[in-house]
Amino acid sequence: MNLSHLLSLLTLSLLSTLISSQPFLNSLEQESLYQVLESINSDISWRSLFPDDLCYSSPHGVVCEYFMKSGAGAGEESVHVTELSFGFISDYSSNPPCNNHSKINVPALSAFKQLKKLLFYKCFTGYEVPVPEFEGFGGVLEDLVFIENPSLVGPFKGDIRSLGSLKRFVLVGSGVSGWVPHGLGELSSLEQVTLSRNNLSGDISRVNVSKLRNLKVLDLSYNGFFGYLPESFGGLESLLKLDLSYNEFSGEVPESFKGLKKLEFLDLSYNKFFNCGVPLVLGEMSSLKEVYLSGNDLRGEIPEIWENLGGISGLGLSRNGLVGNIPGSMGLFLKNLCYLGLDNNKLEGSVPSEFGTLQLVSEFNLENNSLSGKIPFDAKFVSKVGKKLKLKGNSQLCVEEELRDGSFGDHLKHLKLCKKPDVPRLVLLHDSGSSVVLVSGVAMAVSWGLILFLVR
């Protein structure tokens, strides 16, 4: 008998023992699971609905796995609870439903030493539930997820350091306040930290995240964090997404951000970055796909930093007190632009003709600036972008008749008509009026009574 035969025979016999003598969930986990289910929803009589082994016939939302012992007692099997999800999501994943009295039974939850995933979805919506200490949740936990639990409140207590395998820490839409959990910065296995829409706050400037080498997503949006962005953020070399929008961060974007070589999504909008200009360091972050900086008070002119940013599809610079002209280089280099927001600034001059050549645009918002001159878009562009071509609030901007009156240009009706086709910008008129000399190059100094003026 050769080796492969032997192996397949072994596998077969293993399978048959699996089927014939499925291991039981041990009594501690069985009893703890009843207690956890009762703490989530005591209106359901879990013990009579599920009288058997809870891994053999488990309620939705409970996942068990089989483990094979190695070392002493090798080959012996056991079964453990590895995933728990609470809160009705849909008929297709009808997890144990929560109610107004749902609680988190931490002692019972800490009985599951093999628990990898723990999810609470719209579970704490009635009476307030203090956010639990996570220390007991076991060293193999990878996903700790709370989504839309407005009654989960209070500050984090204790230390999260013992969750050494944690990859995803998600707490979205709760009433949790105060600072992030102690020890979060020590969890080097973390790939995602999403703490959006809570009541968290604190000064972030002295935070050192240098141990979070595997972090791909950091989302602190819609909280009350403040302070300067720490230099150490620039060391998050795996980071793909950084969302710090709707907080009170201030100062400027550190030079160290050029270390975020993989960053694709950067949202710093609606913070308190003041008078620091559009960050030049963006020009060195060549993986960027979406950049949102709206609703700060960056001020200054739009810099020429776009050469290496051809991957950008979304760019928001609205409401920033920006002045000066829109650089044509934006239209030249940002070939993948789908969304551009430059509205509610103090931009002037014309809309660069390069913008008219962009192929992928689906929304273009230049409202409420001081732009002037003829819009550089053709009929195809205007009909494709439609109502999402937003140009209102620029009283000196004009449109050619064909565009405004075409069926597709209805929404450009508010723009005035351009008076005449483009003429050379520099015109010299003979004072006798008999002959008109057009010179479009360098103006010459002339002594015999010429009038020199600029058109437009």
Ligand X SMILES: *[C@@H]1O[C@H](CO)[C@@H](O)[C@H](O)[C@H]1NC(C)=O
User: Nearest approach, Cβ of 131 to ligand X (angstroms)?
Assistant: 12
Least distance from C-beta 98 to ligand X, angstroms? 11
Q: Single out the residue of 58, 8, 5 nearest to residue 29, CA to CA.
A: 58
Residues 6+ apart with CB under 8 A from 352: 326, 327, 328, 330, 331, 376
Can you tell me the distance from the alpha carbon of 280 to that of 55, in angstroms, rounded to the nearest whole number? Answer: 56
Closer CB to ligand X, 17 or 188, in the complex: 188
386 is written with which tokens? 């439609």
Applying CB under 6 A, among 199, 370, 372, 383 the residue interacting with ligand X is 199
- Binding residues for ligand X restricted to 65-104, rule: CB under 6 A: 100
Least separation in angstroms between CB 297 and ligand X: 16
For ligand X, the closer CB: 23 or 155: 155
**Residue 377: CB minimum distance to ligand X, A:** 18
Please state, in angstroms and rounded to a whole number, the distance separating the CA atoms of residues 28 and 417: 80
Single out the segment in contact with ligand X by CB under 6 A; choices: 53-61, 132-140, 204-212, 295-303. Answer: 204-212
Q: How far is the CB of 264 from ligand X (least distance, A)?
A: 24
**Cβ distance 181 to 155 under 8 Å?**
no
231 within 8 A of 207, measured Cβ to Cβ? no
- Residue (169 or 233) nearer to ligand X, CB: 233
Taking the least distance from each CB to ligand X, the nearer of 120 and 137 is 120
Asked if residue 150 binds ligand X (CB under 6 A), the reply is: no
Compute the least distance from the CB of residue 185 to ligand X, in Å: 9
**Alpha carbon distance 456, 151 (integer Å):** 61
Please list every residue from 315 through 344 that binds ligand X, using CB under 6 A.
343-344
The span from the CA of 294 to the CA of 343, in Å, is: 9
Rg of the chain on CA atoms, in Å: 31
Binding mask 121-140 for ligand X (x = CB under 6 A): -----x--------------
Q: How far is the CB of 145 from ligand X (least distance, A)?
A: 21
Candidate residues 31, 38, 148, 231; the one interacting with ligand X per rule CB under 6 A:
231
Choosing from 175, 300, 311, 376, the residue that interacts with ligand X (CB under 6 A) is: 175
- Strand, coil or helix: what is 326? coil
Determine if 208 is a binding residue for ligand X (CB under 6 A). yes
- Please answer whether residues 323 and 300 qualify as being in contact, where contact means their C-beta atoms are separated by less than 8 angstroms: yes
Question: Contacts with ligand X in 377-396 (CB under 6 A)?
Answer: 390, 393
Residues from 360 through 379 that contact ligand X (CB under 6 A): 365, 367-368
What is d(CA 167, CA 186) in angstroms, rounded to the nearest whole number? 12
Closest listed residue to residue 174, CA positions, set 193, 150, 155, 145: 150
Pick 110 or 199: Cβ nearer ligand X: 199
Query: Which one of residues 102, 232, 269, 345 is an interface residue with ligand X (CB under 6 A)?
Result: 232
Q: From the CB of 389, what's the least distance to ligand X, in Å? A: 12
Q: Using an 8 Å Cβ cutoff, are 116 and 140 in contact? A: yes
Size of residue set near ligand X by CB under 6 A:
18
Task: Tell how strand 426-429 and strand 451-454 pair up.
Answer: antiparallel
SS3 content of the chain, % helix, strand, coil (to 5): 20, 25, 55
Stretch that binds ligand X, among 205-213, 260-268, 288-296, 345-353 (CB under 6 A): 205-213
Shortest Å distance, C-beta 160 to ligand X: 17
- 203, two tokens: 């000064």
Which of 340, 288, 278 shows the shortest CA–CA distance to 309?
288
**Identity (one letter) of the amino acid at 204?**
I
Distance CA 77, CA 241 (A): 41
Interface with ligand X (CB under 6 A): 100, 126, 175, 177, 199, 201, 208, 210-211, 231-232, 343-344, 365, 367-368, 390, 393
